[in-house]
Amino acid sequence: MTEPVSDSDDSTLKGVMLRGAWYYAAPGAELARGRMAHKTLLGEPVLLGRDSAGKVFALRDTCPHRGTLLTRGAFDGREVECPYHGWRFATDGRCTAIPSQCNGQRPQAGDIRAVSYPVAEQHGNIWVYIGPRTDNLPPLPVLPDAGDTPQLYVSLRFPCNIDLAVIGLMDPAHGAFVHKSAVWRTRASIHEKQKSFSPVKDALGWRMDRHPASSNSRAYKIFLGGRPETEITYTLPSTRVEHAATSRYSYTGLTACTPVTADVTDVHHAMYWTVPGTALLRPLVKRVALKFLDQDRQAVLAMQEGLAFSPPTMLVRDADTQVRWYYRLKREWLAAQTEGRAPVNSLTPVTLKWRS
Ligand code: FES
Ligand SMILES: [Fe+2]
């Protein structure tokens, strides 16, 4: 059970951006009524907007006429106007005006449609579905105990592919080395741990079953008081939801990685808690959260620089088992898409052991 396992057979999957999924696009608070913003998601140009009634919409951010970025134009809360020749588009993509066309000339506005994307806003997060059109959209990540908006949101751009960003979320062995901190954990606190895992139903993912928070996760105990229990859920393509609760308070953390392009990934982190009277703490928590994300970013960059030399690498048991699951489920995601069938989660409940 302890031999190193080569992961070289996963080379065809590495860095591949999975389509057919919801991706975190922006926190809702970033987008006021009547505003629009450009996002690049999986290499696609996306116009994200909020109409005057407060409803969020997403269009391909290139004008169907000559490709101009529509977000460089104007938005009156109802229609987007291209800055070049003034073609106008409703929030569902219908073209409503082509100022240069005479009567009887084709095309007329009714012949034209800008591409629109499915979009959803939940718990203060805006998600955009990237993939082939379908009536069967997958469910959004479930955030237990999360309110309408996060108490805190931070994000950081990682100059690496999606896999390097995601596997940092499921790597239990780096904490004491990358996130050295007295409130978080120290190297001296490393001890043997045993965690049970089960597959997530109806999605490609797994859950670290609810368990008492580790004795070296001091931050939880200080913040939530009592004896918190925690549960962590990972679902492909790239979300991690952590839920920790005592009998009185709870904390929910969402981490979602969104590929900007094949070589750049945005890591979004939204935090919710029910502990009252913490407004003054927010700037401090924000600083710590950003520092934490940046530590992960530095670690990933050092790994990326090493990997540029194509060294042989290995995934060890059991500390790297979740990374192997990630690649296994990713392979299944792509195979199911190629074969036109529903993906099958082949993971089974198991207990893993490591020192961290
Ligand atoms: S490029 Fe947009 S109206 Fe011509
Ligand atoms: Fe980390």
Residue 176: CATH number of its domain: 3.90.380.10
The answer to whether residue 128 is domain-embedded is no
Task: Give me the tens of pLDDT residue by residue for the chain, a chain 356 residues long.
Answer: 334 455 545 667 889 999 999 999 999 999 999 999 999 999 999 999 999 999 999 999 999 999 999 999 999 999 999 999 999 999 999 999 999 999 999 999 999 999 999 999 999 999 999 999 899 999 999 999 999 999 999 999 999 999 999 999 999 999 989 998 755 566 778 899 999 999 999 899 999 999 988 766 667 777 787 788 999 999 999 999 999 999 899 999 999 999 999 999 999 999 999 998 888 989 999 999 999 999 999 999 999 999 999 999 999 999 999 999 999 999 999 999 999 999 999 999 999 999 99
My answer on whether 164 and 251 are in the same domain is: yes
Could you tell me whether strands 152-158 and 192-199 are parallel, antiparallel, or unpaired per DSSP bridges? unpaired
Contact 32, 50 (CB under 8 A): yes
Q: Is 72 in the pocket of ligand 1 (CB under 6 A)?
A: no
Domain assignment of residue 173, given as a range: 152-355
Contact 269, 153 (CB under 8 A): yes
Q: Residue 79 to residues 19, 88, 172, 180: CA-CA distances in angstroms? A: 28, 6, 48, 50
My answer on whether 157 and 201 are in the same domain is: yes
Tokens of 296: 């992960």
Could you tell me whether strands 5-6 and 314-315 are parallel, antiparallel, or unpaired per DSSP bridges? antiparallel
Looking at the CA of residue 70, tell me the nearest atom of ligand 1: 2
My answer on whether 81 and 201 are in the same domain is: no
My answer on whether 114 and 178 are in the same domain is: no
Number of domains in the chain: 2
The answer to whether residue 20 is domain-embedded is no
Looking at the CA of residue 85, tell me the nearest atom of ligand 1: 3
Q: SS3 for 193?
A: strand
Q: List % helix, strand, coil for the chain (3-state, nearest 5).
A: 25, 35, 40
pLDDT of residue 93: 98
Q: SS3 for 69?
A: strand
- Atom 1 of ligand 1 has which residue's CA nearest to it? 66
My answer on whether 112 and 180 are in the same domain is: no
pLDDT of residue 170: 94
Q: Is 347 in the pocket of ligand 1 (CB under 6 A)?
A: no
pLDDT of residue 202: 87
Cα–Cα distance between 237 and 327 in angstroms, integer? 10
Closest ligand to residue 289's CA: 2
Dihedral of alpha carbons 10, 15, 20, 21, sign:
positive
The answer to whether residue 127 is domain-embedded is no
- Give pTM, 2 decimals: 0.94
My answer on whether 323 and 237 are in the same domain is: yes
CATH number of the domain to which 83 belongs: 2.102.10.10
The answer to whether residue 345 is domain-embedded is yes
My answer on whether 328 and 208 are in the same domain is: yes
Q: Is 85 in the pocket of ligand 1 (CB under 6 A)?
A: yes
Tokens of 33: 């009524």
My answer on whether 159 and 109 are in the same domain is: no
The answer to whether residue 9 is domain-embedded is no
Distance from the CA of 160 to the center of ligand 2, in angstroms?
Answer: 15
Q: What angle do CA 234, 121, 159 make, to 5 degrees?
A: 55
Quick one: which H or E segment has residue 185? none
Distance from the CA of 241 to the center of ligand 2, in angstroms?
Answer: 14
